[in-house]
Amino acid sequence: MGSLGSLLNNPHESYILGLWGADRYLRTSSIGLSNTNVRLIKIFLEYLLERFPISRIRFRVYGVEDTSLTSGFKVSYCKGSKNVLTAYHIYVNSRPLVREFLFSLRNRNFLAKDCIYAYFAGRFDGDGSLSLDKKICRIVYGNLEDLLIDQYLLTNINTSVYEYGSARTYCMYFKKSTLSNFLEQIRPYSISGKL
């Protein structure tokens, strides 16, 4: 079981923190991940299984279920979804874990040095994109404050910020001069296949 602060001091858990920061599922006493990428859901599931018994973990499925993923878990089905891809919400009811994730995300400026790029790999895998020619890279954020904190963490990487007003999102774009360095740093942690 992870200790308080392990999300900030363990590269594997820092990746989980970044992934959750990108695609979080959060309620008053529930925490989890929302995504259409089964590989990312499995990574978060493995993290939860390190901390909780199967009986505590819940799935909500929007679309056609991958039974190899959800077998043995309590599953709620949401019919009538207009999603083209099946979306999964995996979560656990745990106020202590909610507090731990919220504390760690708010205090990510204290990430251990060897955990910063693991965290960004999670953010990138959850909400990042890279053009086919690998010249344009960005990570999408729901609010500017979140983006600015992350931008501050990347002291040696040049980035710019763009606001998409109609979508109410912000993007951190990586400048060409340091993009290859950023991709090289997150590559050992990223599972996205985008690199």
pLDDT digits (tens, 9 = 90+) for 110-120: 999 999 999 99
Given pLDDT bands bounded at 50, 70 and 90, which one contains residue 193?
A: low
CA–CA separation, 180 vs 178, rounded Å? Answer: 6
Question: Poorest-confidence range of 57-66, 110-119, 130-139?
Answer: 57-66
What pLDDT sits at residue 4?
45
DSSP percent split of the chain into helix, strand, coil, nearest 5? 45, 25, 30
What pLDDT sits at residue 1?
40
What pLDDT sits at residue 63?
82
CA–CA separation, 17 vs 38, rounded Å? Answer: 18
- Can you read off the two tokens belonging to residue 111? 């990430």
Half-sphere exposure of 128 (CA within 13 A, CB side): 28
**Does pLDDT of 28 surpass 80?**
yes
Please name each of the domains of the chain with its CATH number: 6-108 (3.10.28.10), 113-186 (3.10.28.10)
Given pLDDT bands bounded at 50, 70 and 90, which one contains residue 93?
A: very high
End-to-end Cα distance, the chain? 31
Tell me the H-state helices in the chain: 6-9, 11-23, 38-51, 67-70, 95-106, 116-127, 144-153, 176-186
Task: For 5-17, write each residue's pLDDT tens digit.
Answer: 799 999 999 999 9
Average pLDDT, the chain: 90
Q: What percent of the chain clears pLDDT 90, i.e. is strictly above it?
A: 74
What pLDDT sits at residue 2?
44
Report the Cα 142 to chain-centroid distance in Å. 13
**Does pLDDT of 61 surpass 90?**
no
- Can you read off the two tokens belonging to residue 36? 């259409």
C-alpha distances (whole Å) from 50 to each of 15, 43, 62 are 15, 11, 25
- Write the Ramachandran bin of 168: left for phi over 0, alpha for psi from -120 to 50, otherwise beta: left
**Does pLDDT of 81 surpass 70?**
no
Q: pTM of the entire structure?
A: 0.91
What's the rounded mean pLDDT across residues 54-67? Answer: 85
